Structure 1
Amino acid sequence: MLKPILIHPDPRLKKTSDAVADLSDELRTLASDMLETMYDAPGIGLAAPQIGVLTRLIVMDCVKEGDPEPMIMFNPEILASSEDTNVYEEGCLSIPEQFAEVTRPAEVRVGWIDETGTPREKDFDGLWATCVQHEIDHLNGKLFIDYLGPIKRQTITRKSAKLKRERARA
């Protein structure tokens, strides 16, 4: 089931999410709904706070062509980061139509619990590394624009607020 995506500025996007203590069918359904919402948007990642649920859950799929590789991560955390960095032009489903270059570690090792309750670890690089870091940031109340200078951040926030008002009137 498609979920509405919160648009910045929304105070829920700046809050820290709670850890998942026990996997439930309700949380698995939420993860499935988030994947459906992400693909529909369309996007390559979505964090539970973006749909107003302050739970440490992210979904992502960075495959642009070919067979999809959906990932569901409960309680994801970055275990290690490379000193090398990459710069990607990032966007966000909660900040539509706005993009900016963000520098992040080029490679990260992430630990999480999958939808079966199994602990997992994986090394990510390229777009996958950027995406997983971006989504984990959401769980900590951080947006990609928080990496930008104050003027660029304020400009994007004003544009996003205007778009949010226009959508509310539509």
Structure 2
Amino acid sequence: MPLEVIYYPHPTLRFVSKPVRRVDADLRRIADEMLDLMYESKGVGLAANQVDLPIRMFVVNPTGEKGSGEEFVIINPEIQRPKGSETAEEGCLSLPGLQGDVIRPKSVRVSAFDIQGNPFEATLEGFLARIFMHENDHLDGTLFFDRMSKEAASELQPGLEELEIDFRSRQKTGSVPSDEELIRRLSDWTDRYC
């Protein structure tokens, strides 16, 4: 079944993803499919739990264009040594149409593995650092509006309610499984990779 971006309030978006223990051909195929989906959706990053996979992996290309810029497939990231702070507008493929200002560190140190299972270490700054932090937040079940001030986040409330109404109505019609069923399916993936 092809991967699809899931939308708020899908329960996997709040799931704390499990570390990947095995990199194989199937996981590489998933990473390639995530990159394609990210480009198709006009994004610059996509976390595995945004495609209903509860594993600690995300993909990034700061240009958002296939064949341009550098692609990253990041597995089991750890973000340390935050320095400085800056505010910038963020959006999210799982929260279409919603944006808000988020304060994040200007630079961070990232330790992870790439899709070949090789160690990845880098100090990132600016926009690229912001993308990595945003995607890493997804792996912890954190959404960008969780990092906004209460006043700023309250401005997003009508949009969040609209997404919730749409999601729940699709559950009522049966086109989306119940929250309980969605959560139950997560164990199949964690058993396979974690």
**Same fold, TM exceeding 0.5?**
yes
Q: How far off its partner does 1:51 sit?
A: 0.5
Deviating more after overlay: 66-75 vs 98-107: 66-75
Matched, 1:108 2:111: no
Report the counterpart of residue 71 of structure 2 in structure 1.
70
Matched, 1:5 2:8: no
Encode CA deviations 1:59-99: one digit per residue, 9 max, x unaligned.
Answer: 000025782311000101102211x1111100000000100
Q: How far off its partner does 1:161 sit?
A: 2.3
* Aligned partners of 2:8 and 2:160 also within 8 Å: yes
Larger Cα-atom Rg: 2
Report the counterpart of residue 117 of structure 1 in structure 2.
117
CA RMSD of aligned residues (A): 2.2
| Mapped partners of 2:24, 2:160: distance in 1 | 36
TM-score, length of structure 1 as denominator length: 0.90
Report the counterpart of residue 24 of structure 1 in structure 2.
24
Report the counterpart of residue 94 of structure 1 in structure 2.
94
Compared CA separation, residues 140 and 67, structure 1 to 2 (3 A)? same
Matched, 1:159 2:169: no
What stretches of structure 1 move > 6 A for 4+ residues in a row? 165-169
TM-score, length of structure 2 as denominator length: 0.79
* Aligned partners of 2:6 and 2:50 also within 8 Å: yes
Question: Could you say which structure has the higher helix fraction?
Answer: 2
* Aligned partners of 2:10 and 2:167 also within 8 Å: no
Matched, 1:51 2:51: yes
| Corresponding pairs, count | 169
Question: Could you say which structure has the higher strand fraction?
Answer: 1
Structure 2 segments unaligned to the other structure (5+ residues) = 174-194
Partner AA of 2:79 in structure 1: I
| Mapped partners of 1:157, 1:11: distance in 2 | 14
Encode CA deviations 1:122-158: one digit per residue, 9 max, x unaligned.
Answer: 1111111111000000000000011121523533421
Deviating more after overlay: 53-62 vs 157-166: 157-166
| Mapped partners of 1:165, 1:62: distance in 2 | 33
SS in 2 for 1:58: strand
Give runs of aligned pairs for residues 80-91 of structure 1, distance below 5 A: 80-82=81-83, 84-91=84-91
Compared CA separation, residues 2 and 88, structure 1 to 2 (3 A)? farther
Structure 1 segments unaligned to the other structure (5+ residues) = none
| Mapped partners of 1:155, 1:167: distance in 2 | 19
Deviating more after overlay: 156-165 vs 124-133: 156-165
Compared CA separation, residues 124 and 81, structure 1 to 2 (3 A)? same
